[in-house]
Amino acid sequence: MPELPEVETVRRGLVSLVKGYKIVGAHDLHPRALKPESIAPLKSIQGAKIIDLNRRGKFLWFVLDRPQVLVAHLGMSGQFLIHQQGHPRAKHVRAQFDLTKQMRKRELVFNDQRTFGWVSVEETNDGVPSSAQHIARDPFDSHFDLQETIEKFAKRKIRIKTALLNQEIMSGVGNIYADETLWRAKVHPEVSTADLSKKKIALIISYATEVMSEAIEQGGTSFDDLYINVNGESGFFEQALAAYGCTDEPCPRCGTPIRRITFGARSSHFCPRCQKKYR
């Protein structure tokens, strides 16, 4: 599932390609494309101009020259793509947006093979769409409060991996970057937040920010063609992964084989030597 670096890569691509364009056509082409809670059909945003693209955690939205915004969640395989002449067309188009800017025309599509992603027309509160109101700020948000976030982690008595995945504590981190963060911090995924000092929690947040920054620079992580950027290109951070998906491979730090465990219906990858549960 795309995490913050992948969604941010898509956001940046959309800014460069569709900002300033007018939506002259908006079509939902699949019954699951439009979120049921959408306050209006997609065609309601026809005539709107795209002012900017914003993001909170894994939620992305088009800022329009009207009170409503167009929100998108990529789900497991959602993609925004610009159809280009001479290139194969996307095979799983769920929504289409016809765009114009002066004499230029572009066709933006929301492609989603597994149909867990969605788009939605929503109102905002303090600039944030209705569906993202419960989502905490991420470390790249200009109003991110580090001390407040440390307190949120410290007050919980849950596994640190579970806490990192909780989007109401700090958003943006999913399974891939949680494993990479904890490997860098030398913390076992099953360690309780109650057993971590605030200094250690701050270090974990710092590593999460670091690993996601590096992933953004590499265009995100692509294991298959389910995640690609707006130009149809894959990300390259997979090549830098130290723990996630590296079962039985040597730890880059000490050489011990990486282990994989499962809890909470998710897999976790860690080094049993560097990331001991009990010290």
8 carries an active-site annotation: no
Of 3-7, 129-133, 197-201, minimum mean pLDDT range:
3-7
**Residues 141-160 pLDDT 10s:** 999 999 999 999 999 999 99
pLDDT of residue 231: 60
2 carries an active-site annotation: yes
**Residues 52-65 pLDDT 10s:** 999 999 999 999 99
Percent of the chain clearing pLDDT 90 (strictly above)? 80
Mean pLDDT of 93-106: 96
Model confidence at 3, in pLDDT bands (50, 70, 90)?
A: confident
58 carries an active-site annotation: yes
**Residues 68-87 pLDDT 10s:** 999 999 998 898 999 887 77
3 carries an active-site annotation: yes
Prediction pTM value:
0.91
Average pLDDT over all residues of the chain? 92
Decide if pLDDT at 29 tops 60.
yes
Catalytic-labelled residue, pool 11, 55, 56, 58? 58
DSSP string covering the chain, please?
A: ---HHHHHHHHHHHHHHHTT-EEEEEEE-STTTB-TT-SS-GGGGTT-BEEEEEEETTEEEEEESSS-EEEEE-TTTEEEEE--TTSPPPSSEEEEEEEEETTEEEEEEEEESS---EEEEE-EETTEEGGGTTPPPPTTSTT--HHHHHHHHHH--SBHHHHHH-TTTS-S--HHHHHHHHHHHT--TT-BGGGS-HHHHHHHHHHHHHHHHHHHHTT-B-SSTTS--TTSPPPBGGGG-SSTT-TTSBPTTT-PBPEEEEETTEEEEE-TTTS-S--
pLDDT of residue 232: 61
Query: Do strands 78-82 and 124-125 pair parallel, antiparallel, or not at all (unpaired)?
Result: unpaired
